[in-house]
Amino acid sequence: MDFDLTDDQRLLTESITRLLADQYAFDQRKAILKSSQGWSPALWGKYAELGLLGLPIAEEHGGFGGGAVEVMLLMQVFGRHLVLEPYLATVVLGGTAIRLAGDAGQKGEILPAIASGAMKLAFAHYEREARYDIADVQTTATPKDGGFVLEGAKSVVLHGDCADRLIVSARTAGGRDDAEGISLFLVDAGAEGVARRGYPLRDGTRAAELSLSGVRVPASALLGERDNALPVIERVVEAGIAATAAEVVGAMEAMQAMTLEYLKTRQQFGRPIGENQALQHRAAEMLVALEQGRSMAMLASMMVEEPDAAERARSISMAKVGVGQAGRFVSQQAIQLHGGIGMTDEYAVGHFFRRVMVIEHLFGDTDWHLDRLADQVA
């Protein structure tokens, strides 16, 4: 058992913290949010320079060779600053899919391009009617002229509007909800028949509706085994859960700190509101939730590379539930203890609140994962 960070890991956290303290103050972030893309290409370049885009990518592919713990540390700092760049979509979701399913040629082409910042990816898997069910794929891929033709639509594709390459799931066999018969394809965002409509989510991060009509791809676009992509999709989703769990921890830390400061400085009835024991206990409950959530985010990161699929899935579901509940409590209390000011867009608390709210509704919500765990109670 060891919860200590290595020197390298500490340095990593420090360098990201320094960069974001300098570049991602609340007002700077607001300017990025208002820009047409909704994220900063300049900072994307900076992340590449610092090696962050190649953090979990092997050194042979131009990466840093880090693992889940390094990603957790980075996402935690990103959570404290509410980073808007397409890191989750490109490096975590896209990178994991390529790492797990790509052949030598695909890895050799794409992973170095992720690490250098030359290519952005999006994971175009979930569909409008699927909600959180990962086998509910209705998009089809029909063999034709040695390649495939894709037909269908994908919904709320994270950063799907800016991606250069899309990782699209589609049915090559079976019917709706079947675990087998799903395949993954690499699709150029500019390919004929691909239409994208970008929009912001409630937290300001970008997403897109994607439609695919008669999109032709060559056989070499197939990513991983034909008809058997579900295990890969599951692992991509798990990586997303582990990364966003860490992000929520960072957001909770920020909200906790802001609330504490406010309790000390806001005066009502002639004294700081934090002198009311009711509010002191509430702050203590927030701390309890934060620490429990932090433990669960660690669990997710430690287990995301676990080879036993059932054990891995169980741990990840536990983490999604634990972090989801902690995040909801901490963010709701953060607004409540701020009173009116917490309700304004001008103030940072509400932005953290909305990030936590959006993450709750990605990759299966608390109820969904709790239900999955309930199935396995022995």
Residues of this chain that interact with other proteins (CB under 8 A) are 126, 128-133, 136, 155-156, 177, 197, 199-202, 207, 209, 267-270, 273, 276, 278-279, 332, 335-336, 339-340, 342-346, 350-351, 353-354, 357-358, 361-362, 365, 367-368, 370-371, 374
**In angstroms, rounded to a whole number, what is the distance separating the alpha carbons of residues 309 and 190?**
35
Whose Cβ is closer to ligand FAD: residue 142's or residue 344's? 344
Rounded to an integer, what distance in angstroms lies between the CA atom of residue 287 and that of residue 289?
5
330 binds ligand FAD (CB under 6 A): no
* From 142, 213, 268, 280, residue interacting with ligand FAD (rule: CB under 6 A): 268
CA–CA separation, 200 and 32 (whole Å): 13
Name the token pair of 359: 């993450």
129 binds, among other proteins, ligand FAD, none (CB under 5 to 8 A by kind): other proteins
Binder of ligand FAD out of 107, 226, 266, 361 (CB under 6 A): 266
Sign of CA dihedral 267, 270, 271, 276: negative
Q: Per-residue contact track with ligand FAD, 276 to 295, x per CB under 6 A?
A: x-xx----------------
Residue number of the CB closest to ligand FAD reads: 339
Question: What are the Cα distances from residue 72, in Å, to 77, 98, 284, 299?
Answer: 9, 19, 25, 11
Pick the closer one to other proteins by CB: 48 or 130. 130
- Closer residue to ligand FAD (CB): 336 or 376: 336
Q: How far apart are CA 214 and CA 194, in angstroms?
A: 8
- CB of 97: closest distance to ligand FAD in angstroms? 43
In degrees and rounded to multiples of 5, residue 162 shows phi and psi of -110, -5
The structure tokens listed for 291 are 């620490």
Cβ atoms of 168 and 240 closer than 8 Å: no
d(CA 200, CA 258): 26
Report what 160 binds from ligand FAD, other proteins, none; CB cut-off 5-8 Å by kind: none
Q: What token pair was written down for 90?
A: 């490109």
**Residues at the interface with ligand FAD (CB under 6 A):** 266, 268-269, 273, 276, 278-279, 336-337, 339-340, 343
